Amino acid sequence: MQTQDSSVLKSLAMPIHPEGWRFIPLFAAATLLLFWLWSPLGWLGVVLTLWCAFFFRNPDRITPSRDGLVISPADGVVQMVVAAPPPLELAMGDAPMTRISIFMNVFNVHVNRAPISGKVLKRIYSPGKFFNASLDKASVFNERMAVRLELADGRNIAFVQIAGLIARRIRCDLGEGQQVRTGERFGLIRFGSRVDVYLPEAIQPLVVVGQTTVAGETVLADLTATEPARQGEAR
């Protein structure tokens, strides 16, 4: 019983991403104003303030540490697994790569994590539209932050933070030349968005469309594996 109680307390005391402290006080101040104007509106403000804190939660994750594993950079649902050329701005050529698109709704943790260890070769922001992030065209037309990462074996992967329909800010703390580790926090997107991961040539994904991913924990691919792409079905 004591273990269960401590687990509940730990979940309630989940850390907040620093970005959240710019918004939570504003929501709380607006709630006080709403209470002053009309108390029923104040209770709506309480709900929204709690949601804001919930949105910016920043939990620790247990990241698989074996070499070659590509880990999910985002909490969410695998929206697409398709062959697509990487973003032009990353200068990785126009040959199609396997792209895994993970859609985050407003209730997911939005802290993003590095999918694999490597060196940041390019980090390029592109302004754009704010189409629904679940649409395929969002990869090309939406506002985004694209990162090209060089792995220890010389291969490259790319991952892209994509703004969504109501997302209006992408935060990426990476710099060109920086070394990152698998599962390391590197940024977030508010509020509802998508992250694409482009796998090296001939690497098959280990996730399927509709699967739920956990940032820093779910294995998207194994660079050392030779098994074919997996299939999945709802049960």
Same domain (yes/no): 14, 36: yes
Bridge partners of 113, per DSSP, are 185
The last residue of one of the domains, among 55, 79, 100, is: 55
Same domain (yes/no): 50, 100: no
Task: Identify the CATH number of the domain in which residue 150 sits.
Answer: 2.70.70
110: closest CA among 49, 156, 163, 45? 163
Tell me which range, 23-37, 88-102, 192-206, is most confidently predicted by mean pLDDT: 88-102
Same domain (yes/no): 205, 103: yes
Please state the φ and ψ torsions of residue 89, each to the nearest 5 degrees: -65, -15
Tell me whether the omega of the peptide bond preceding residue 159 falls within 30 degrees of 0, making it cis: no
pLDDT of residue 16: 74
Residue 173 lies in a domain: yes
Same domain (yes/no): 213, 168: yes
Residue 63 lies in a domain: no
pLDDT of residue 131: 67
Higher pLDDT, 231 or 104: 104
Range of lowest pLDDT (1-5, 68-72, 151-155): 1-5
Percent of the chain with pLDDT over 90: 50
Same domain (yes/no): 86, 51: no
Q: Is the pLDDT of residue 56 over 80?
A: no
Active site residue 193: yes
Residue 166 lies in a domain: yes
Q: Is the pLDDT of residue 178 over 60?
A: yes
Bridge partners of 149, per DSSP, are 120, 157
Same domain (yes/no): 48, 95: no
What are the structure tokens assigned to 234, written together? 């709802």
Same domain (yes/no): 37, 78: no
pLDDT of residue 4: 46
Same domain (yes/no): 137, 22: no
Same domain (yes/no): 190, 102: yes
> What does the alpha-carbon distance between residue 230 and residue 119 come to, in Å, rounded to a whole number?
29
Residue 46 lies in a domain: yes
Same domain (yes/no): 81, 177: yes
174: closest CA among 194, 146, 200? 146
pLDDT of residue 73: 96
The last residue of one of the domains, among 18, 33, 55, is: 55
pLDDT of residue 72: 97
Residue 234 lies in a domain: no
Confidence class of residue 5 from pLDDT cuts 50, 70 and 90? very low
Residue 229 lies in a domain: no
Range of lowest pLDDT (7-11, 49-53, 152-156, 162-166): 7-11
Domain that holds residue 208: 69-222
Percent of the chain with pLDDT over 70: 88
Same domain (yes/no): 22, 111: no
Helix (H, G, I), strand (E, B) or coil at 50: helix
Taking only the tens place, the pLDDT of each residue in 117-176 is: 999 999 999 987 766 666 677 777 788 999 999 999 999 999 999 987 765 678 899 999
Mean pLDDT throughout 105-116? 90
Residue 95 lies in a domain: yes
Q: Is the pLDDT of residue 41 over 80?
A: yes
Same domain (yes/no): 49, 74: no
Please give the tally of structural domains in the chain: 2
Residue 170 lies in a domain: yes
pLDDT of residue 168: 64
Q: Catalytic pick from 101, 117, 139, 193?
A: 193
pLDDT of residue 176: 95
Neighbours of 142 (CB within 10 A): 26
Mean pLDDT throughout 185-203? 87
